[in-house]
Structure 1
Amino acid sequence: MSSVEDLIRAEDAGQRLKYVCFWGHEPRHDGRIGASCLSQWWPAEFTVDGLVFPTAEHFMMHRKALLFGDEDTAARILRARHPNEAKNLGREVRGYDEEVWRASRFDLVVAGNLAKFGQHALLGRYLLGTADRVLVEASPLDRIWGIGLAADDERTASPRTWLGSNLLGFVLMAVREQLVGASLIGGREKRDITILDHDRGWARRFRVERSRIRKALGDNALRIDHIGSTAVPGLAAKPVVDIQVSVADANREETYLPQLEAAGYHLRVRQPDHRMVRTAEFDVHVHICPTGGKWERDHLLFRDWLRTSSADRLAYEKLKRDLATRDWFDMNQYAEAKGDLIDEILGRAEHWAARTAWSVDHPR
């Protein structure tokens, strides 16, 4: 769906629409990524054609200036310290033509957000996790890129009563679908989720797969770790063994991907600093990440803390069992639904790591 009219037709046809409303660009108080990352003003530096853009708003206004041949203003926009400054400079573009801008603006903003979400794995994961939900810029001040209403306005509940076109929401939904094609090899998957009591055979399966990976990669695998719920004794889990392989540079696929594919694994996920391959039976997922990076550390810390904390282990299992009873558009939506609790648990794990001098090289 790419317009308010499309949404109204879907609503009239009886389709139950679910929404994610956003407005503003401030991070959550706990520092976790939320819907505000969808804002054009969210600070997420990215590079396009050798130029660095502090925000998607900078990109939009820079491309607007270039569209009309105003290279001086384009250069000033790149130097703008705040997205509001970039926005105001965009209003000063010389030679502006409304019809030309209307014909070009959607594709330009799509290009900027593809770079933003494509170059930041955590942002990309959040966007993909919104699955089939309608993204809505609930701005009471903007009737072009937003809906002209605040999120708590009762009229926000139906596109029939919106006051704006929600162009940014439709841009982000278009970006989401392009990211699905680029990062999820084979597209979205809707699969049944089954949570089983912990099985000691999962540790044995890890050891078998570790040997298989070591044989395939040799010294290119700097470390191979059992991660995820199947690596935590006593924790119920999906019967999928997650393995983390640390390499020098996860973006250099030629150093590991052909070897893993020759060993029988199949590429499923391609994201910045993260790849995932899996067995043909989908019962082993192998995550490749750079050594010393956030992905490596967070997954090892999460595992070790759950091995220590019975309270968080029980809370995490309870959530997973509850989520498994629901119907999910795809597996990414299920994974995103666990995000808030995972972030809470990681916060407690960080305090534990500081108290105990835990580190990737010296776990406790």
Structure 2
Amino acid sequence: MSPARDRGQALPALLGGLLLLTGCAIALAWVGAGLLERGERRRGVELAALAGARALADLRPRLLVDASARAAVLARAEQVAREAALANGVADARVSFDAGPLPAEVRVVARGSIALPGGVRIPATVRARAQAPLFAEDLGDGQYRGPFAQRDGHPMRPDVALAYDRMAVAAARDGHRLVVVSGFRTYDEQAALFAAHPNPKWVAPPGRSLHRLGTELDLGPVAAYGWLLRHAGDFGFLLRYPWEPWHYGFTGSPASASVGFRSRSGGDGAVPSYVPARFAPGLRRAASRWGVGAALLAAQLQVESGFAATPPIEARARRLRDLLRRLGSVPLALAATHAGLARVAACMCIPPIAQTRSYVRRVLVIIGGGDLGGARVRLIE
């Protein structure tokens, strides 16, 4: 076969290869353009969710004093999100919010597909979720956040420390030198302890241990166990479990300031300004009589009725006192008010009930001063 004939046969193959490469390059360019457009839609949806969350955070304080404004607040936040989506090339955005009286999440979805040459279409549904948190952290499991006092190097609530001091003095007069072996423990510390001793009879799983409340003390020495059993109750301490003669929980001070929630709008004993004047004296008396924070009691009544009718102030204050003594935590006491003590005591947590969590969230926001504006928004999907 001559060289000229070989070249004549190779030329069509070469041209065919070039055409194939060109076709692949064009196809890749089409796909790349489609993916780029999808990425731009994704960015538009994310910006819309962030804009809606920002508007939601700015408008949300209205809901503290006027729950009926929820529809108007959400309508405005939705409008802001849609306008942001449209400005970024997304005309078919759908906006929704989480349930509850104080929404904190914006969801934006844009469904559809992108057409490529040749009648090919690729999916282009994009979605984003943005959040405007009500708190720097979630409601959590009722863990005490401070302030702390220390005895024998172990942290505890300050009121627990003072009660322990009185008890230690009395024990010393009877010849017993009390020692704090353990006090407050964080979730992580409890998790490490449970991992080393995974028997729930002796070590509670993380999130279930009462030590996270700052009210619990493991005490020694062994020789003092009998004295503690006879006298600890005189100082507000309760033997938690018969099989743990060292473990005592403090139940003597239910005041809300002592469990880490003091209103930023005033002292814990001050009646907030939103309370109608005719209810202020009764609220102040009930708070003092039952040893609970006036700010916390007022926030409960505001959430439950808005003082629209004569509230059961004395009954509510006594119930709150009892729950704080039993549970040692404001969030848990509020959850028990709404969902019932049995549900909360069973897990020592805020039950995963949307209405209960909304109730707790709203009361905590009010006693935190009602400062819901300026929240830091963030994407969560």
Q: TM-score range by the shorter chain?
A: under 0.3
Indicate the structure (1 or 2) with the bigger Cα radius of gyration. Answer: 2
Question: Normalised by the size of structure 2, how large is the TM-score?
Answer: 0.24
Question: Normalised by the size of structure 1, how large is the TM-score?
Answer: 0.25
Choose between structure 1 and 2 for higher RCO, CA contacts under 8 A separated by at least 6 residues: 2
